[in-house]
Structure 1
Amino acid sequence: MVVKKKKSVRNDASMGVSLDMSMDSMEETRFKKKYQHLIHKLSKKLHFTTIELECLLIIYYKLQKEGEIKQPGVTKTQFRDVLHCGFDMTDDNLMDRIFLAIDKGPSSYVSMETWATTLSLFLRGSLEEKIEFCFSVYDIMGEGILGRDTIFYLLRNSLVSSTGDEDAEESIKDMIEVITKKMDLDRDGKISFNDYRQSVLKQPMLLEAFGQCLPSRNAIHAFMISFTTNPGKL
């Protein structure tokens, strides 16, 4: 699947203009009426206005309709394509972990609420929200700590994926020493969530120290201007 840029979704409803110029007005009206309660619910807890949420859910709806057969939602494969092509999230080694952090359910579909919640985090999430998300991606064992084996696995996959150097073990061991020294604040040989959080709050550049699990700034800006006139500062 090739993700197409949604040029036609606009944040102009206040001026009486259709949210999506490629969508039949009656279909759009039915859509907004059907999901008005969900939109109202999400507007209270996410970083989007009501109109922005309408636009984002219409994008979801159109992705759902792209399926060859009628499907109950956007598939995880479709969402993976959005992350890969639309958000420059190309670390395939972390993609399964990212999906587990986003949605731990067994379904092969991503719900509208999960879609909107994930985009809220990616596009306008606070540093605290991103810290919690990234750590959950990195915490492979689900123990609330990043041990040396986990760190080695994450760094090795990240380094091999970006450089193609499969004989990078010594470099990785050196990196582990540097990162552990910087982030293991209680000096117990492991990086706990508190170690990670405090380190990132002091030096935000450490947020994705173990691999990319958030969109790039350029990708965020490009996606934001496709559905809102208020992309904000990045």
Structure 2
Amino acid sequence: MDSSMDIMEETRFRKKNQKMAVRISEKLHFTFEEAEYLLLIYYKLQKESKEMAQGMDKTQFRDVLHCALDMTDDYLMDRIFYTLDKGPSPFMSKDIWASSLSLFLRGTIEEKMSYCFTVYDTMGEGVLGRESMFNLMKNSFPTGDEDAEEAAKDLVEVITKKMDCDRDGKISFNDYKQSVLKQPMLLEVFGQCLPTRRDVYTFLTTFVSKISKM
């Protein structure tokens, strides 16, 4: 499975994680072989963690998102982590690891809409008010841009007019969903929180090619 593991370690790994790989393949968007390989990646990262027994730490996961999937928006990263794993622990479980990659690599539009909206809902109110939208848009401009605040306000007005279907001054999930289904490019209107199609393809190509050699 992996040249950095000897045969005995690989065999032990497969046997120990077989049931979890089956469960992942039944629940998420992966085959058994893909699930097994995902767990192997987790295991390799876990071995490099300062506290291996606790699992892979979230800093390592951030590095995976940054290096493998080119997700580099520092402002949104904390929101992404909170949406994927609401627990207070600095470590990420195997289940959260697998479900996160299932979403990023092969998530349905429904899954992605629910995820993105939660990332953007910084106040946790179930709606996107003008303050939340303003903070998200303001941070999309380069640091030090003197016109960023005014530009962000203008964008909030434009987006609200476009997506506020019931005209209550806020964007509910239903408003957001209707808008995205009509215009899919609005999915990440408030900032990147998913990998690009190119980065997904590149990651999956490497992923599948390794599996084919197993």
Q: Which residue of 2 aligns with 1:27?
A: 9
RMSD: 1.5
Q: Which residue of 2 aligns with 1:90?
A: 72
Q: Which amino acid aligns with 1:207?
A: L
Q: Which residue of 2 aligns with 1:6?
A: none
> Runs of 4 or more off by more than 3 Å in structure 1?
68-71
Checking the alignment, whether the CA contact within 8 Å between 2:49 and 2:55 is kept in structure 1 is: no
Say whether residues 1:175 and 2:155 are aligned partners. Answer: yes
Q: Which amino acid aligns with 2:195?
A: P
* Alignment map for 1:38-53 (pairs within 5 Å): 38-53=20-35
Q: Which residue of 2 aligns with 1:136?
A: 118
Secondary structure, counterpart of 1:227 in structure 2? helix
Q: Which residue of 2 aligns with 1:213?
A: 193
Q: Distance in 1 between matches of 2:175 and 2:93?
A: 33
Checking the alignment, whether the CA contact within 8 Å between 1:160 and 1:166 is kept in structure 2 is: no
Q: Distance in 2 between matches of 1:133 and 1:182?
A: 21
TM-fit CA distance, 1:84: 1.2
* Alignment map for 1:140-155 (pairs within 5 Å): 140-155=122-137
- 1:151-174 alpha-carbon deviations (Å, 9 max, x no partner): 00000012236xx52431111111
TM-fit CA distance, 1:204: 0.6
Q: Which amino acid aligns with 1:132?
A: S
Change (3 A) 1:166 1:93: farther
Checking the alignment, whether the CA contact within 8 Å between 1:122 and 1:215 is kept in structure 2 is: yes
TM-fit CA distance, 1:149: 0.6
Bigger helix fraction: 2
* Alignment map for 1:9-88 (pairs within 5 Å): 19-68=1-50, 70-88=52-70
Q: Distance in 1 between matches of 2:195 and 2:53?
A: 27
5+ unaligned residues in a row in structure 2: which ranges? none
TM-score, normalised relative to structure 2? 0.94
Change (3 A) 1:146 1:220: same
Change (3 A) 1:181 1:57: same
Change (3 A) 1:69 1:103: closer
Say whether residues 1:187 and 2:167 are aligned partners. Answer: yes
Comparing 129-138 with 36-45, greater Cα deviation is found at 36-45
Change (3 A) 1:31 1:169: same
Q: Distance in 1 between matches of 2:27 and 2:52?
A: 30
Q: Which residue of 2 aligns with 1:121?
A: 103
Q: Distance in 1 between matches of 2:174 and 2:122?
A: 17
Aligned length: 210
TM-score, normalised relative to structure 1? 0.86
Q: Distance in 2 between matches of 1:224 and 1:175?
A: 35
Q: Which residue of 2 aligns with 1:4?
A: none
Q: Which amino acid aligns with 2:66?
A: H
Give the one of 87, 93, 100 matched to 1:111.
93
Secondary structure, counterpart of 1:159 in structure 2? coil
Q: Which amino acid aligns with 1:112?
A: K
Q: Which residue of 1 aligns with 2:202?
A: 222
Tell me the percent identity. 64
Q: Distance in 2 between matches of 1:78 and 1:167?
A: 35
Q: Which residue of 1 aligns with 2:138?
A: 156
